[in-house]
Amino acid sequence: MTDFKDRKKNSNVGKVVIVTGSGKGIGKSIAKEFAENGYSVILNARDESELKEAANEIMQETMADDNNIIFIPGDVSREENCKSLIDGAISRFGRVDVLVNNAGIKGASKKITDLTVSEWSEVMDINLKSAFFCTREVLKHMLKNSMWNNNIDNNFSIINISSVHESLPQPASVPYAASKGGMQMFTKTVALDVAESGIRVNGIAPGTIDTDVNKEVLDNEYKKKDEEQHIPLHRIGKPDEVAKVALFLASSDASYITGTTIYVDGGMSLTS
């Protein structure tokens, strides 16, 4: 007898997801979660060797068919690379059901008076401009193929990975916080633009998650304990806790949710 999990997995077979910034961290965990649940997955990041390693790891851990887990390297802050990513996915699988805009960097930790134009632009380009480029290109496909007829299983979905700092200020992080604040409004506005077509656009705002981005804090016991004291649940989050929310937002279980950002932060945003 097929159990509930297997039925859900089988219902996703044939669906395709692109996850940017998926060579490691939250992005890799999201890619793995979708692969475990029957999706064909396109991984993307700038480092090709890192991507290859991530793809092999996902295939081994999920027993996914290697024909359904591919990677397309490229810097998605560049318009031509975003076009190649979306075109490559459609050329390979004929469709894209879900786009996860996860690519991002934290950037230099400096006060605004010490920031250079290039440091500002790098964060904005990778964190926000890449989401614009990839979303615009994938929507050309989604809008053409949208089957909005109250059939919730046919809905396309875009998920933007933001940060708790889209609404919670952080010292010496002006470009990062500004880019994530922009991501919040980007999510809401695009959701409004495409709602008539049944395409849903949502965000996820992680707090402190156990990834390389937070290595400086996690590798220092004093800093780690101090960080945990500022989180109401008193622990650091895991990448798969973000990944499971992404899968939910892409599913028909979230069919009436759009323009929303879900905070996966252990209650961190409650302390502002």
- Residues with active-site annotation: 176
Residue 83 has a CB neighbour count (10 Å cut-off) of 16
Residue 36 has a CB neighbour count (10 Å cut-off) of 19
Taking every pair of C-alpha atoms in the chain, what is the biggest distance, in angstroms?
64
For residue 11, give the amino acid letter.
S
Give the Cα separation of 115 and 208 in Å (integer). 24
Give the Cα separation of 26 and 177 in Å (integer). 18
Residue pair 121/178 in contact (Cβ under 8 Å)? The answer is no
Q: Mind giving me the DSSP string for 161-217?
A: E--GGGTS--TTBHHHHHHHHHHHHHHHHHHHHHGGGT-EEEEEEE-SBSSGGGHHH
Give the Cα separation of 24 and 5 in Å (integer). 26
